Amino acid sequence: MNTPSRPCEPGGYVFDAALMLRASENPELLEGHTHPSWANMVGPYGGITAALMVQAVMQSQCLAEPVSLTVNYAAALKDGPYRIQARAARSNRSTQHWLLELTQSDRDGPAVMATATLVSAVRRDVWRRQDLALPPVQAPETFEPVILFDAVEWVRRYEIRLIDGGVPAVSDGSERDSLTRFWLRDAQQRPVDLPALAAMSDAFYPRIWLRRAGWVATGTVSLTVYFHASTQELAAVGSQHIYAQARAQDFRHGFFDQTAHLWSRGGLLLASAHQIVYYKE
């Protein structure tokens, strides 16, 4: 595969550039290349890896829409090529269960860098109720776009209008609530779809940095996203701002969990996401 010289084809979206997966001779195997525009401190942003898993399934013999995704981050990807194996472990009439493995080759051969499971299913127009309402919040235009933290590239891929819960200005170990709330959208105003929603679900910096006002080495171990919105519903959201909030529940033994929810401006719950994150000390 050619090393991509983009970050951005004329008129193209950097998000789509990062999601380019090439078919191989093996129909279960797709080939891709890390994209510098989505770099995190070490390796790519976890959200772009989650999006890649969704993309890989949607490019495969996927009969329906992703409903549920779990990505396990086994090691930090290196800049360079990777392969994603996407296998339908079981296909029922209206549901498919996918197993995915992302590998990169080193001296010892291919090494698993991430695994995932994804359930795709036919969405049907049945009884519906949304119990988790959009919290009362002022319009996105009320808040200024910010760069949440300067050290990484991927945060520039989003327009984030922070409401509260930014990275503490002073790292003094003072404790506070771990809630962060913001409006966000793709910085290029690319319309949201299911892979983009997966990526946005991870757009929060590690809750522990906020909770105890200080930097600690962290890494997401496992991320689960439930896609409440259909492709059709996301098309109606388009490039409008999305309200997102995240909070942690428990920090113990070097792992904490954080829960995120994303709503459309109109109040539709788009996704729930949960992750468990390693922290060093």
CB of 142 to a copy of itself, least distance (A): 26
Q: What single letter denotes the amino acid at residue 273?
A: A
The single residue among 6, 22, 78, 123 that binds a copy of itself, judged by CB under 8 A, is 123
If the CB atoms of residues 78 and 97 are measured against a copy of itself, the closer one turns out to be: 97
Reported as type and span, the H/E element at residue 180 is strand 180-186
Tell which residue, 149, 130, 153, 155, has the closest CA to residue 264. Answer: 130
Q: Compute the Cα dihedral for 195, 234, 60, 66 and give only its sign.
A: positive
Does residue 78 interact with a copy of itself by CB under 8 A?
no
User: What region, left, alpha or beta, does residue 267 occupy, with left being phi > 0 and alpha being psi -120 to 50 degrees?
Assistant: left
Considering only 92, 107, 151, 169, the residue that binds a copy of itself (CB under 8 A) is: 92
Confirm or reject binding of residue 115 to a copy of itself (CB under 8 A).
yes
| Residues 204, 220 contacting (CB under 8 angstroms) | no
* Closest to a copy of itself by CB, 45 or 279: 279
Using only C-alpha atoms, what is the Rg of the chain? 18
d(CA 213, CA 249): 16
Nearer to a copy of itself, 84 or 155 (CB): 84
By the rule CB under 8 A, 281 interacts with a copy of itself: yes
Q: Taking Cα atoms as reference points, which of 216, 246, 249 lies closest to residue 47?
A: 246
Q: Which is nearer to a copy of itself, 18 or 260 (CB)?
A: 260
Longest CA–CA span in the chain (Å) reads 56
Copy the structure tokens of residue 252: 């113990």
**Span near a copy of itself by CB under 8 A; candidates 49-57, 97-105, 146-154, 197-205:** 97-105
Task: Determine which residue in the list 50, 52, 119, 163 makes contact with a copy of itself, applying CB under 8 A.
Answer: 119
Return residues touching a copy of itself (CB under 8 A).
67-68, 70, 72, 74-75, 89-90, 92, 95, 97, 99, 101, 111-113, 115-117, 119, 121-132, 175, 177-178, 211-212, 221-222, 224, 226, 228, 230, 247-255, 257, 259, 261, 269, 272, 274, 276, 278-281
